[in-house]
Homo-oligomer: A and B are copies of this chain.
């Protein structure tokens, strides 16, 4: 079975995010006054095979832990989607 994992990697809450702050200032400059906070991170979209959702989740988490996220400064969230056979 083929899965698509949407992975959102972002800077941990208490860690400074200079990029997010710069983008927030830019949005304010552009008069998006309703914006109260911005964080910028990495979006990784991984397709992988796995026998079931649990296995897929376990694999992708491991990829995040070893490569995709920096455990010291970053956190991540995974959303899984099953890819229908004819798409694969």
Instruction: Report if A16 contacts B (CB, 8 A).
Output: no
- Residues from chain B with a CB closer than 8 A to the CB of A44 are 23, 38-41
Taking Cβ atoms with an 8 Å cutoff, the residues of A that contact B are 2, 6, 8-10, 20, 23, 26-27, 30, 32, 34-50, 59, 62-63, 66-68
A-B contact pairs, 26 of them (CB 8 A): A8-B8, A8-B45, A9-B43, A10-B43, A20-B45, A23-B68, A26-B67, A27-B46, A27-B67, A30-B63, A32-B48, A32-B63, A34-B49, A34-B59, A35-B47, A35-B63, A36-B47, A37-B46, A38-B46, A39-B45, A40-B42, A41-B42, A41-B43, A41-B44, A41-B45, A43-B43
